[in-house]
Chain A
């Protein structure tokens, strides 16, 4: 068990609680029409930080371990509360055990052409975004081993913190963040004179219950010498397993059968789907984004996500989904796997 030094904790936690938060500007979810075209086209990078499909975890709400002590007690307890990280570690450990047959079945499956082609498909319809000479940056998230956290985790979940949603961070999540930051740094260093850079970060993972393959694309635009992007938008394409089981191992077995045939097809389909959807998302200006995310629009629930419908086509609906508790906001589209 972690040592609790009460006296030190009181001072430390109180100090931490009153530290001012860094003032970071939140990136816009749209690019105004007048800001799109630059004199020199933006360099475009495809970031692929993963070497294999990732697990994901869902912890739900985590009870706060306080039964008294007032506001000061809650602040101190919150400052020393590592229950979320411990639960995240053990959930990841279990998920990594379940996902192993699928990881083995996908051994050698290269998602680089899938991500590159999807990015190019979006670029072809979004000429203003940047050059079609893609820089493909491959990374390798180190296998986390610190503090019992073993595995590859590319999505952060959030719990109910004392001061709002608090990340269920662990070593695996931190390793992902560091890998992505290094890729961003390398890309910036390669184009020191570019006024702006366009980045497409691709992640892919199983849903926590292994009923979905999920491909996540984060498109960001970053200005020269800026630490944070001024534009960020996310598209998630997921492929659902028909008639899934509540037993995780059974779902994994179906994805992994025949050298991962179902998972390979799902990943191929999901990357391509993002490429189909991205142009419409990138085309949204301020008014377009406001209209697309207006709650008075027709809404739909798709694979557990809910929100206004951006469009419907043969690939199914594309919805704008938000989850304030999870600090999540993305355009989501879902397809069904066919065996």
Chain B
């Protein structure tokens, strides 16, 4: 598994081809939640009534999601897999977790490096969406979006490999305080499943 290093602790690791490779990972601070039900199909009155009925739930779910799947837990989830290999980086790549960037114009549009690293073998993985949705027909799901930017081979303006993953949830949100552990595990499992959906293209 690639080594975990926080930003700033740069101790180059030699990759198999002799170059020191770095994968900089930016988790997201985002945590959106929206619940809609059958009433939303009943015109203006239904939609308004449903928005009112779900307001407390949308607030509490968003807060819970931002907490239970905040940056530190996204990082913890990524640490359980071989992240660098998942996005096609060579073995021995150093995985460096960066503090999140809130400005979406920066995370989703900027094609140059988001760090001050000058490593020749360099790439970035950015989490750009963290959305919980509960729909009347489709049920509960977690949706994540990701961007991979590859600066290897002298690239200075990287192409963005954008993609998403969405998987169902069975335990989140918890019905009782006792259900929190299961709900948290459910969220993080879905997060990894979403990432694996996205990362399948690199295999």
Chain A residues close to B by CB (< 8 Å):
1-2, 4, 6, 9-10, 58, 60-70, 72-73, 76-77, 80-83, 86-87, 90, 208-209, 211, 242-247, 299, 301-302, 304-306, 322-326
Contact = CB atoms under 8 A, between A and B. Distances in A.
B30 interface: yes
Given A60-B30, A63-B131, A299-B112, A305 B103 contact: yes
Nearest to B71: A246
A301 B59 contact: no
A323 B103 contact: yes
16 contacts: A1-B55, A60-B31, A63-B133, A67-B41, A67-B47, A67-B50, A68-B42, A73-B43, A77-B48, A90-B63, A209-B29, A246-B70, A301-B106, A304-B106, A306-B110, A323-B106
Given A64-B34, A72-B44, A87-B62, 12 more contacts: A4-B49, A6-B45, A6-B49, A10-B48, A60-B32, A69-B45, A80-B52, A83-B55, A243-B9, A245-B6, A246-B71, A246-B72
B6 A60 contact: no
B84 to A, nearest CB: 19
A209 B27 CA distance: 12
A301 B113 contact: yes
Interface stretch (B15-23, B94-102, B158-166, B172-180): B94-102
Contact of A63 (B37, B62, B70, B115): B62
**3 A-B pairs with the lowest CB-CB distances in the bound complex, closest first:** A69-B47, A67-B36, A67-B40
B47 A66 contact: yes
Contacts of A81: 51, 55
B75 A246 contact: yes
A325 B99 CA distance: 20
Contacts of B133: 63
Given A64-B34, A68-B47, A243-B8, A209 B71 contact: yes
B51 A65 contact: yes
Nearest to B113: A301
